[in-house]
Amino acid sequence: MIVTHSTRLLLVAVFALGLPAVGQAQSRDIETLFYMRNNEPAFESFRTNIDKISIVGPQVYSVEGDGVVWGEVDPRVLALAREHGVKVMPLIHNPGFNQETIHELLHDETARRRSIAMMVELAERHGFWGWQFDFENFHITDRDAMTEYYRETAKALHANGFTISIAVVPSLGTAGRSPFHRYMEANWRGTFDLKAMAEVSDFISYMTYAQHGGPTTPGPIAGLPWMRATLDYAISQGVPVEKISLGIPTFSGYWFPTYADGLARVQGHEAHWDRATGLIAQNDAESRLTWIEEQGVYYTWWENSGTFEWVFLENKRTFETKLQLLDEYPGLRGISVWVLSAEDPKIWETLRPVSRR
């Protein structure tokens, strides 16, 4: 099927049907943190929608086992942020979420001190508001070491007038029933001491968009029951609700069978708006597009040489539906959105311009 302009307009119209009424979350000021990668589409989205963004989180800095922090925020982002009063909070992460790298750093006091000193110096040089930890895929046996590293960094940043936050992969507090869920809990979900980190954090970005992804079966990126359950767990662990920034996805999920390196498997990929809607149109899957009320998401599927492929679609309606959780959980700090340039452009209609203070 050829994706014509009229086909795309029809697809957008189908997606827009049945939009819920705008709730209180959209009628009051909320803190909006938007993440961005270092590329032109992300920069253009930032530039175009900057009046709706409180904090920008460029994912550009890395640190490895030696504690040397490397990377750079696009100077155009810094200039625009200064001009419009947007706070800059870059992310620092273990490149490729490599487990051995972060283990080495956590157990080398000299390397930790080096990385903290470099973070302070970079924040002073570039006028950052603060830093966000985005360390993922560290083993549960390094949980206490990560907590101590975070405390050390928080102490240094706060002493120099900067803020600190951490992106946390959510958990339900249990490993579940399968080897896969045990692996996830031991390496991704159960590795954060939520209460201890909340005590020294200015806030926590709670990545509730980590429900389904690359290694999972097809499913919602962030289904409403999952979001509620993980929020309830964090609060039960002693995280103050006012320190939680709710993770919301703008990207969709695309699952398909693949073969590489001698291994055949199903793989999920992050799909930005144009790719997700293009796939649906190209495969004539609009007629099967289904809204799952309980989950707050669209999905559709098509057959490719006898096997099914799936898209779980995030758009304006799903974004707006997730925003309603700020009404269900009064006091939530705001939202942390992954990622600029992945979005249905209509999501910006759901947000008010930021009140700069």
Query: How far is it, in rounded angstroms, from Cα 14 to Cα 18?
Result: 9
Q: pLDDT digit of tens for each residue in the chain (357 aa)?
A: 333 434 444 454 445 444 444 455 554 689 999 999 999 999 999 999 999 999 999 999 999 999 999 999 999 999 999 999 999 999 999 999 999 999 999 999 999 999 999 999 999 999 999 999 999 999 999 999 999 999 999 999 999 999 999 999 999 998 888 999 999 999 999 999 999 999 999 999 999 999 999 999 999 999 999 999 999 999 999 999 999 999 999 999 999 999 999 999 989 999 999 999 999 999 999 999 999 999 999 999 999 999 999 999 999 999 999 999 999 999 999 999 999 999 999 999 999 999 986
Tens digits of residue pLDDT in 263-295 = 999 899 999 999 999 999 999 999 999 999 999
Residue 154 counted as domain residue: yes
Buried b (16+ CB within 10 A) or exposed e, 296-331: bbbbbbeeeeeeebbbbbbbbbbbbbbbbbbeebee
Q: Are 202 and 153 in contact (CB under 8 A)?
A: no
Among positive and negative, which fits the CA dihedral 329, 330, 336, 340?
positive
Residue 266 counted as domain residue: no
Residue 204 counted as domain residue: yes
| pLDDT of amino acid 25 | 58
The CA-to-CA distance between both ends of the chain, in Å, stands at 50
Number of domains in the chain: 1
Residue 355 counted as domain residue: no
Query: How far is it, in rounded angstroms, from Cα 301 to Cα 129?
Result: 43
Q: Are 31 and 245 in contact (CB under 8 A)?
A: yes
Coil vs helix vs strand at 275? helix
Residue 64 counted as domain residue: yes
CA atoms within 13 A on the CB side of 225: 6
CB neighbours of residue 264 within 10 Å: 8
| pLDDT of amino acid 353 | 97
To which H or E segment does residue 100 belong? helix 99-106
Q: Are 86 and 55 in contact (CB under 8 A)?
A: yes
Full residue range of the structural domain in which residue 50 is found: 23-253+315-350
| pLDDT of amino acid 151 | 98
Residue 280 counted as domain residue: no
CATH of residue 129's domain is 3.20.20.80
Angle ∠(311,342,292) on CA atoms, nearest 5: 35
Q: Are 200 and 150 in contact (CB under 8 A)?
A: yes
Exposed/middle/buried for 283, CB within 10 Å: 0-12, 13-18, 19+? middle
Q: For residue 24, give the DSSP letter.
A: G
CB neighbours of residue 79 within 10 Å: 10
Residue 258 counted as domain residue: no
Tens digits of residue pLDDT in 179-214 = 999 999 999 999 999 999 999 999 999 999 999 999
Residue 200 counted as domain residue: yes
